[in-house]
Amino acid sequence: MTAPLSHQDDAAPRGRPVVRLRPKAEARAIRHGFPWVYADELALDRRTSALPPGTLAVLEDDLRRPMGLVTVNVKSKIVARMLDRDPEAVIDQAWFARRIAHALTLRDRLFDAPFYRLIHAEADGLPGVVIDRFGDAAVVQPNAAWAEVHLEALVAALVAVTGVSTVLKNGSGRARGLEGLDEETVLLQGALAGPIAVPMNGATYMADLMGGQKTGLFYDQRPNHAFAARLSKGARVLDMFAHVGGFGLAALAGGAASALAVDASAAALTLAGQGAAAMGVADRFATRQGDAFDVLEALGTEAVQFDVVICDPPAFAPAKPALEAGLRAYERIARLAAPLVAPGGYLVLCSCSHAADLSAFRNASARGIGRGGRRGQILHTGFAGPDHPVLPQLAESSYLKSIFFRLD
C-alpha cells in the first residue's frame, strides 16, 4: 500500500504540498517526458483531495523520490500536469517569459508576419494553454485550472515578450468543462475595433477574436490550405465546413476558377465573404448556409460536380467513447462527398479528432469513398503546421490529419 501523507510531507520545497504516485503508476513514462498523471495513478488521500484546483505541488514516485513540480486538479481526469522538472521552480512572470520567449524564437524563424499559434500547450511547455497571435493582438485560452490561477503573470509575460497591446481571454470549449472551469470570453488588455484581417497563403481571412469559434481562426491547416491551393488552379472548388473560408479562399488565391463555401454559421460565412472582398475575388466566391450533411445530400441530387472538394469537419471523435460514432460520421462524409468530385478531381478529407488515429481515419475515409461508388489514390497526407509542434510522448498533441485523394 502507498503510505499516507503525513505532516512531515509538508517539508517539500517552498512549503508546497506533496502528491504521490501509486505503486503501479507509470513513473517511468513520466520520467521520460509524459506530462500527465491520471486520477487513478495518484494516491488521493484526504489532504490531496482537498487541494484547490490549480495548486502547485511536488510530485513523488511511490518510493518518495521527487519527480518535478506539478499542478493538481482533483476535479479533472488529468489530476496532475507536469510544469517543471525542478521541484523548486518558481512559477512567476519570469518563468512564463522564458517559456514564451522560447516559443517565439521558433515562430520568428518560421513566419515573416506575426500571425500564428504562439503557444501549443504541453508541446510548448505550458500545459493546457493555447495562445494564438494576430499581429498586435493575442488570444489566450487557459484550458487548465493552473493557468486560470496564474493568468495575470502569464498575460504580463506575454505582453513583455511579444509586445502585443491587445490580449483576450477565450474561456470557452470542451477542455475547460473537463477542468471544472466556467466559460468566459473577455478583453483583458487593449482595444478591439472589430474582426482582424489575417494574411495567410496569399489569402485574407477575417478573424472575429471576441465572437468567433475558438480563437477566431484555425492556423493549424495552413500547410494543407497551401497544398490544396496547388491542386486548385482553374478548378471549381467546394469547401465544406468552411468556417471563415479556410480552404476556399486559399484556393482562390491559388487561381481557382470559383469556390463555394458551406457552413452552418451565417456569421462565419459573412466573415468569409468579407475576406473574399478584401482579396478582390468576391466575383468568384459564393456561400451556402446549412447543415453540411444536408447540403452534401442536396448537392448530390442537383447533379453538380466540382474539381476539388474539401471536407474539414469539427471533431467527431474528441474522446475514445465517441470513436465508433465519429468514424461512422467520417465515413458518411466521404460517401456523400465522393460523388461530387469530377472524374480525375480531388477529395480532401480532414479530421481534428484526438481519438481517431491516422489509420482509423484513413480506413473510414476509404470505406466511404468506396460506398460512394468511387475509387482513388492517396496523393498526400498533411498534418498541423509547425506552429503546432508535437510533444513526442503525448499522442494527443498530434491531432490533425488531412488526406488528399485523387478519384477516378
5: pLDDT strictly greater than 70: no
C-alpha cell of residue 328: 461512422
73: pLDDT strictly greater than 80: yes
135: pLDDT strictly greater than 90: yes
Q: Report the amino acid identity of residue 31.
A: R
> In the predicted model, what is the mean pLDDT of residues 3-26?
69
178: pLDDT strictly greater than 90: no
Cβ contact 122:80 at 8 Å: no
Q: What per-residue confidence (pLDDT) applies to 264?
A: 97
Q: What CA–CA distance (Å, rounded) separates 265 from 253?
A: 23
First to last CA, the chain: 62
> In the predicted model, what is the mean pLDDT of residues 146-161?
97
Q: Report the amino acid identity of residue 222.
A: R
Q: How far is CA 305 from CA 45, 275, 338, in A?
A: 62, 25, 10
CATH superfamily for domain 93-189 = RNA methyltransferase domain (HRMD) like (3.30.750.80)
Residues of the chain with CATH 3.30.750.80: 93-189
> In the predicted model, what is the mean pLDDT of residues 359-386?
97
3-state secondary structure the chain: CCCCCCHHHHHCHHHCCEEEECCCCCHHHHHCCCCEEEHHHECCCHHHHCCCCCEEEEEECCCCCEEEEEEECCCCCEEEEEEECCCCCCCCHHHHHHHHHHHHHHHHHHCCCCEEEEEEHHHHCCCCEEEEEECCEEEEEECCHHHHHCHHHHHHHHHHHHCCCEEEEEECCHHHHHCCCCCEEEEEECCCCCCEEEEECCEEEEECCCCCCCCCCCCCCHHHHHHHHHHCCCCEEEEECCCCCHHHHHHHHCCCCEEEEEECCHHHHHHHHHHHHHHCCHHHEEEEECCHHHHHHHHHHCCCCEEEEEECCCCCCCCHHHHHHHHHHHHHHHHHHHHHEEEEEEEEEEECCCCCCHHHHHHHHHHHHHHCCCCEEEEEEECCCCCCCCCCCCHHHCCCEEEEEEEC
- Dmax over CA atoms of the chain, in Å, equals 75
Sign for the CA dihedral angle at 291, 315, 352, 246 comes to: positive
| Closest by Cα among 368, 333, 367, 369 to 351 | 333
81: pLDDT strictly greater than 60: yes
Cβ contact 332:368 at 8 Å: yes
Cβ contact 128:157 at 8 Å: no
Least confident of 65-79, 163-177, 329-343: 163-177
Classify residue 228 as exposed, middle or buried by CB count within 10 Å of its CB (0-12, 13-18, 19+). Answer: buried
6: pLDDT strictly greater than 70: no
User: pLDDT confidence of 4, banded at 50, 70, 90?
Assistant: very low
Instruction: Select from 2.30.130.10, 3.40.50.2300, 2.10.60.10, 1.20.1440.120 the CATH code of 7-84.
Output: 2.30.130.10
Q: What per-residue confidence (pLDDT) applies to 12?
A: 62
Q: Length of the chain, please?
A: 408
| Closest by Cα among 174, 169, 175 to 187 | 169
Q: What per-residue confidence (pLDDT) applies to 2?
A: 38
User: pLDDT confidence of 213, banded at 50, 70, 90?
Assistant: confident
Q: How far is CA 33 from CA 28, 29, 72, 175, 340, in A?
A: 9, 6, 17, 22, 45
CB-side neighbour CA atoms (13 Å) of 241: 19
Q: What CA–CA distance (Å, rounded) separates 389 from 396?
A: 11
172: pLDDT strictly greater than 90: no
**CATH assignment, 196-407:** 3.40.50.150
- According to DSSP, the β-strands at 376-382 and 306-311 are unpaired
Q: What per-residue confidence (pLDDT) applies to 64?
A: 93
Q: What per-residue confidence (pLDDT) applies to 280?
A: 98
Q: What per-residue confidence (pLDDT) applies to 303?
A: 87
Cβ contact 362:403 at 8 Å: yes
Least confident of 39-48, 173-182, 192-201, 220-229: 173-182
Q: What per-residue confidence (pLDDT) applies to 10?
A: 47
Q: What per-residue confidence (pLDDT) applies to 13?
A: 62
23: pLDDT strictly greater than 70: yes
Cβ contact 103:134 at 8 Å: no
Rounded to 10 deg, the angle between the 222-231 and 246-253 helix axes is 50
- According to DSSP, the β-strands at 166-171 and 137-142 are parallel
Chain segment 263-310, per-residue pLDDT in tens: 999 999 999 999 999 999 999 999 999 999 999 999 999 989 999 999
Residues of the chain with CATH 3.40.50.150: 196-407
Chain segment 319-337, per-residue pLDDT in tens: 889 999 999 999 999 999 9
- Mean residue pLDDT of the chain comes to 94
1: pLDDT strictly greater than 60: no
